[in-house]
Amino acid sequence: MEYSGHDAGRLLERWKELASSGGWGTCLLAEAGEYPVFALQNKRSAAGETGGLYVSAGVHGDECAPPWALLQWAENLPSLFDEMPVVIIPCFNPVGLIENTRLNEEGLDLNRNFQNQNLPLIASWQSFLEEKQFMIAVNLHEDYDATGIYLYEISKDGSPGDRFLNSCQDLIPRETASSVDGSEFENGLLIHDDKAEDLRQIVEDDLGGGMPEAIYLYLNHARNSFTFETPSEMDMLRRIAAHQRFLEAVSEYLTKG
Ligand SMILES: [Zn+2]
């Protein structure tokens, strides 16, 4: 695949081409520096259908494989685009991507601000999602301390997270550390308790009230929420391939069960 690392401009151009050729609806959420941050939705989502898939990438600008993997996955036109509603946020933090930093142009970690309606981007993201409910929400991230792939899962419908990791582990093995960022993992998987009050408590106690996208989506818009992480020191093409495989596994689960 042709990818250009931290070139957010090229990434967004290719998304615009894809959106117009695929008949996707585009919603400008906010401007970040000279770049637009937009949401895309297929016709089923625009028609107000519920269920289906939400995917975002590029919340942290120093994690550059996920936005390219998401683009490549979408350019291959998965069959689920015809079968169910799909919403994609191609790149939440284009300035961070260009500058190779976790934070956005205001020095904020967006992933601790998804409750923060004082940010125009978040306020319009929340209102874009207002009437939407998804079967699965996926957030794609990377971790420079990790040596393998890992996954946070919050789910109401069984627990497919292990199966999703299985589908990627021949590309990049699972993280072997039992503790990542202070949380206990088992074989690369952390399954959060799905009770809303417990999740709100985690946000208050461990994250200083800063709401991550995955928890906001689970509490408001998704039955199941997954945050997939690859080790960002590893070869870029392998990381892109792993994220793409993850999305393929989620698509297959949604379309075939
Ligand atoms: Zn991240």
- pLDDT tens track of the chain, all 257 residues? 567 788 999 999 999 999 999 899 999 999 999 999 999 999 999 999 999 999 999 999 999 999 999 999 999 977 888 999 999 999 999 999 999 999 999 999 999 999 999 999 999 999 999 999 999 999 999 999 999 999 999 999 889 999 999 999 999 999 998 888 778 889 999 998 889 999 999 999 999 999 999 999 999 999 999 999 999 999 999 999 999 999 999 999 999 88
Question: Distance from the CA of 47 to the center of ligand 1, in angstroms?
Answer: 31
Question: Distance from the CA of 60 to the center of ligand 1, in angstroms?
Answer: 5
pTM for the model stands at: 0.96
- Given this model, what pLDDT does residue 257 score? 84
- Given this model, what pLDDT does residue 137 score? 98
Residue 9's alpha-carbon distances to 62, 67, 204, 231, in angstroms, are: 16, 12, 36, 24
Question: Distance from the CA of 103 to the center of ligand 1, in angstroms?
Answer: 10
Inter-axis angle of helices 161-168 and 236-256, to 10 degrees? 140
Q: 93 is written with which tokens?
A: 């933090």
- Given this model, what pLDDT does residue 51 score? 97
Question: Distance from the CA of 118 to the center of ligand 1, in angstroms?
Answer: 22
Given the candidates 3.40.630.10, 3.40.50.2300, 1.10.10.2840, 3.20.80.10, the CATH classification of the domain at 8-256 is 3.40.630.10
Question: Distance from the CA of 101 to the center of ligand 1, in angstroms?
Answer: 10
Question: Distance from the CA of 196 to the center of ligand 1, in angstroms?
Answer: 22
- Given this model, what pLDDT does residue 78 score? 78
Question: Distance from the CA of 190 to the center of ligand 1, in angstroms?
Answer: 16
Question: Distance from the CA of 69 to the center of ligand 1, in angstroms?
Answer: 15
d(C-alpha 190, C-alpha 231), whole Å: 16
Question: Distance from the CA of 56 to the center of ligand 1, in angstroms?
Answer: 11
Question: Distance from the CA of 90 to the center of ligand 1, in angstroms?
Answer: 14
Q: CA Rg, the chain, in Å?
A: 17
What's the number of CA atoms in the CB half-sphere (13 Å) around residue 210?
A: 9
Question: Distance from the CA of 252 to the center of ligand 1, in angstroms?
Answer: 25
Question: Distance from the CA of 64 to the center of ligand 1, in angstroms?
Answer: 10
- Given this model, what pLDDT does residue 2 score? 64
Question: Distance from the CA of 143 to the center of ligand 1, in angstroms?
Answer: 7
Pairing mode, strands 179-180 and 189-191: unpaired
Ramachandran sector of residue 233 (left: φ over 0; alpha: ψ -120 to 50; beta: rest): alpha
- Given this model, what pLDDT does residue 16 score? 94
d(C-alpha 63, C-alpha 65), whole Å: 6
Question: Distance from the CA of 70 to the center of ligand 1, in angstroms?
Answer: 15
Question: Distance from the CA of 21 to the center of ligand 1, in angstroms?
Answer: 30
Question: Distance from the CA of 59 to the center of ligand 1, in angstroms?
Answer: 6
What 3-state class would DSSP assign to 92? coil
